[in-house]
């Protein structure tokens, strides 16, 4: 008996009028670069491992900001947070006539793709717009409440389809919520509710339903599937907890010192006193945790990664049945990492250390040349590289103003860049910290804030310098060591030249006027 999927597969083969590949975009939230089986054999992610073994894994990929909203804006628009103006989780671009570029789903729609998006985008444009658009998604589903900032007009919201399930989810997580707001979220619990009552379970179900019933046989497909986990809190179903043995989970690696070195603490305090209080709350929780509880935290984090991997496997199997993987590019990444208690108290992601800024990034699919399948690329890579890479595969002209590179080409930058504004109350002009990362060295530069007066205090710049080759955990700050002054100054020069060239050719953001090319006429009343 011939099923619907078989019919759709044949229709797709017959109706293809061009050879453009399907674009499959898989994403997680807050997944560390090393929470993959191909990097850490203790982590069970067989489906993502398979993508790495048939594609290219980018060993030194970094995000553009160690927090969700600015990182995702950079990914979706192709510009740095300092260019989009979205520098914190409280930010966003709320007005459709003031966008820096065409967002990725709209770009794909304009190219004739069927665009389907499931899960987290974190546009945050529902704050000021009662009917925020999907920005190019023709099919849209979100595992959130319709009255949240994640609402997009026309999207299928979990609160509308499964309100009782969403209520059960919030009831189960009421004592720890999103995790980073409450450190107990990292302790989590073994979930007692159905997988479909989880927000990610709802997202996966909606995606699988679309693949069964909604795929257009006459158009190539742009599929975006973005889960909320492994972001804390850690309520994970027992099936995936049972994949791990607590005795096999290592304790969190810790530095030889008991208190955070002064440079980072001082710079953080100057950027945002609230952030310092958050660190203190985390430290209080850390000091009370036994080794067993710390290992349990890691176990639940990895179990969530395994759970999402299983959903990815189900979706990829459906796509294969439909013939959509015969000609495709598959991209997998996360928006940032998680410190997971490292440095004796640090959880979540609000810093520029590797556990926070390095991200898993895999490009796979039929477009990968045979010789490059199963390889590891050691070039500096960034999330802003994803749009240029997709454009290159599809033959879309590149925008020379964008800072990203085609990762399937031969281009190479000197280092990877990330920026952090500490969640400062003044999000546009809060004190910045910039990171410049190479394979063997890493610089974190703290400007004396606030930003508007920093230029007059250049002699007060603080920083951190780490030799990643000998000190991969970033425990020994060499910034003030005269032995490494030449390395420090070289890294500073490279960082500042990178920013100068990027900012000079890209847009600049004005809060009231929106985005305009550098040099555009802007009246003083608009600044």
Return d(Cα 494, Cα 500) in angstroms, integer.
10
Contact indicator for 179, 350 with CB cutoff of 8 Å: no
Q: Where are the domains of the chain?
A: 4-255+290-405
For domain 4-255+290-405, give the CATH number: 3.40.720.10
Closest CA to 353 of 468, 226, 239, 184: 468
Q: Could you tell me which residues come within 8 angstroms of residue 157 by beta carbon, excluding any fewer than 6 positions away?
A: 141, 142, 144, 145, 146, 151
Cis? peptide before 230, omega within 30° of 0: yes
Tell me the two tokens of residue 181: 């707001």
Q: What is the pLDDT along the chain (527 residues), one digit of tens a residue?
A: 556 556 556 555 545 556 899 999 999 999 999 999 999 999 999 999 999 999 999 999 999 999 999 999 999 999 999 999 888 888 888 888 888 999 999 999 999 999 999 999 999 887 778 889 999 999 999 999 998 888 999 999 999 999 999 999 999 999 887 667 677 888 899 999 999 999 999 999 999 999 999 999 999 999 999 999 999 999 999 999 999 999 999 999 899 998 888 888 777 666 666 777 777 788 888 888 899 999 999 999 999 999 999 999 999 999 999 999 999 999 999 999 999 999 888 888 989 999 999 999 999 999 999 999 999 999 999 999 999 999 999 999 999 999 999 999 999 999 999 999 875 555 555 678 999 999 999 999 998 776 667 777 778 889 999 999 999 999 999 999 999 999 999 999 999 999 999 998 887 654 444 555 433 443 333 32
Compute CA distances 6 → 2, 86, 218, 303, 318, whole Å. Answer: 6, 44, 15, 34, 11
> Taking Cα atoms as reference points, which of 306, 290, 42, 335 lies closest to residue 187?
290
Query: Strand (E) positions, 206-309?
Result: 221-230, 235-237
Determine the pLDDT at residue 523: 37
Q: Identify the pLDDT of residue 270.
A: 64
The alpha carbon of 388 is separated from its chain's Cα centroid by a whole number of angstroms, namely: 17
Give exposure, 185-210, as e/b (b: 16+ Cβ within 10 Å).
bbbbbebebebebbbbbbbbbbbbeb
Map tokens 């997944």 to a residue: 31
Q: Is the separation of the CB atoms in 189 and 235 below 8 Å?
A: yes
Q: What are phi and psi of 262, to 5 degrees?
A: -65, -35
pTM: 0.93
Give the contacts of 437 (CB within 8 A, at least 6 positions apart). Answer: 60, 62, 354, 357, 380, 415, 416, 417, 418, 443, 468
Tell me what pLDDT residue 237 has: 95
């Amino acid at each position: 008996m011939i099923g619907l999927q078989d019919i759709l597969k044949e229709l797709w083969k017959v109706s293809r009028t061009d050879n453009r590949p399907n674009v499959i975009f898989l994403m997680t939230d807050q997944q560390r670069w090393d929470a993959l089986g191909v990097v850490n054999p203790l982590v069970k992610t067989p489906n993502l491992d398979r993508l790495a073994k048939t594609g290219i894994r980018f060993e030194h990929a970094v995000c553009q900001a160690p927090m969700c909203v600015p990182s995702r804006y950079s990914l979706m628009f192709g510009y740095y947070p300092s260019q989009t103006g979205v520098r914190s989780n409280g930010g966003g671009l709320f007005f459709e006539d003031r966008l820096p570029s065409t967002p990725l789903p709209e770009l794909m729609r304009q190219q004739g793709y069927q665009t389907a998006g499931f899960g987290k985008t974190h546009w945050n444009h529902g704050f000021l717009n009662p009917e925020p658009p999907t920005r190019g998604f023709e099919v849209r589903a979100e595992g959130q409440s319709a009255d949240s900032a994640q609402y997009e007009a026309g999207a299928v919201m979990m609160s509308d389809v499964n309100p009782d399930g969403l209520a059960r989810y919030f009831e189960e997580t009421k004592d720890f919520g999103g995790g980073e707001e409450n450190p107990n979220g990292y302790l989590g619990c073994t979930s007692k509710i159905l997988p479909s009552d989880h927000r990610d379970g709802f997202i996966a179900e909606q995606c699988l339903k679309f693949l069964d019933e909604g795929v257009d046989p006459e158009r190539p497909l742009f599929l975006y599937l973005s889960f909320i986990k492994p972001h804390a809190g850690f309520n994970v179903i027992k099936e995936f907890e049972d994949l791990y043995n607590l005795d096999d989970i290592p304790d969190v690696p810790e530095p030889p010192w008991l208190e955070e070195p002064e440079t980072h603490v001082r710079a953080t305090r100057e950027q945002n006193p609230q952030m310092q209080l958050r660190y203190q709350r985390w430290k209080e929780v850390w000091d009370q945790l036994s080794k067993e509880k710390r290992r349990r935290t890691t176990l639940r984090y990895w179990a969530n990664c395994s759970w999402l991997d299983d959903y990815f496997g189900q979706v990829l199997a459906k796509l294969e049945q439909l013939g959509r993987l015969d000609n495709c590019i598959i991209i997998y990444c996360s928006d940032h990492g998680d410190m997971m208690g490292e440095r004796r108290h640090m959880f979540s992601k609000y810093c520029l250390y590797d556990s926070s800024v390095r991200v898993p990034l895999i490009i796979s699919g039929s477009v990968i040349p045979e010789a490059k399948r199963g390889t590891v690329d050691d070039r500096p890579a960034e999330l802003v590289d994803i749009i240029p890479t997709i454009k290159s595969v599809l033959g879309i002209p590149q925008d020379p103003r964008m800072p990203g590179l085609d990762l399937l080409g031969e281009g190479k930058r000197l280092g990877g860049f990330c920026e952090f504004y500490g969640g400062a109350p003044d999000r546009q002009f809060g004190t910045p910290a910039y990171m410049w990362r190479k394979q063997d060295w890493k610089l974190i530069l703290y400007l004396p804030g606030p930003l508007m007066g920093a230029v007059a205090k250049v002699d007060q710049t603080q920083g951190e310098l780490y030799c990643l080759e000998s000190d991969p955990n970033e425990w020994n700050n060499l910034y003030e060591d005269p032995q490494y002054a030449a390395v420090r100054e070289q890294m500073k020069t490279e960082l500042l030249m990178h920013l100068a060239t990027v900012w000079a050719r890209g847009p600049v953001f004005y809060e009231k006027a929106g985005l305009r090319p550098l040099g555009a006429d802007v009246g003083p009343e608009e600044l």
